[in-house]
Amino acid sequence: MARIISFARRCVRAGTVAALGLATLLGCGEDDGIGRRYPVTGTVTYKGGPLKSGTVNFSPESAEGRAAAGTIGSDGSYSMTTLTPGDGMLPGKYKVAVQANYTDMSKVVNNPGGQYRTDLIRKAPKVKLIPQKYASPATSGLTADVKAESNTFDFRLEEGPPEPVAQKGKK
How many CA atoms lie within 13 Å of 12's alpha carbon, on the beta-carbon side? 6
Q: Which phi and psi angles does 86 have, rounded to 5°? A: 70, 15
pLDDT of residue 42: 98
pLDDT of residue 45: 97
Note whether residue 89 is domain-resident: yes
pLDDT digits (tens, 9 = 90+) for 48-100: 999 999 999 999 999 888 999 999 999 999 999 999 998 999 999 999 999 99
Structural domain total, the chain: 1
pLDDT of residue 40: 98
Note whether residue 12 is domain-resident: no
pLDDT of residue 38: 97
Nearest CA to 47 out of 111, 106, 120, 129 is that of: 129
Note whether residue 123 is domain-resident: yes
Note whether residue 31 is domain-resident: no
Q: If you average pLDDT over residues 121-138, what whole number do you get?
A: 87
Task: Please state which of the ranges 19-33, 70-84, 112-126 shows the lowest mean pLDDT.
Answer: 19-33
Is there a contact between 169 and 149 (Cβ–Cβ < 8 Å)? yes
* Residue 127 structural domain: 40-170
pLDDT of residue 144: 98
Whole-number mean pLDDT of the chain?
Answer: 79
Note whether residue 33 is domain-resident: no
Confidence of residue 140 (pLDDT cuts 50, 70, 90): very high
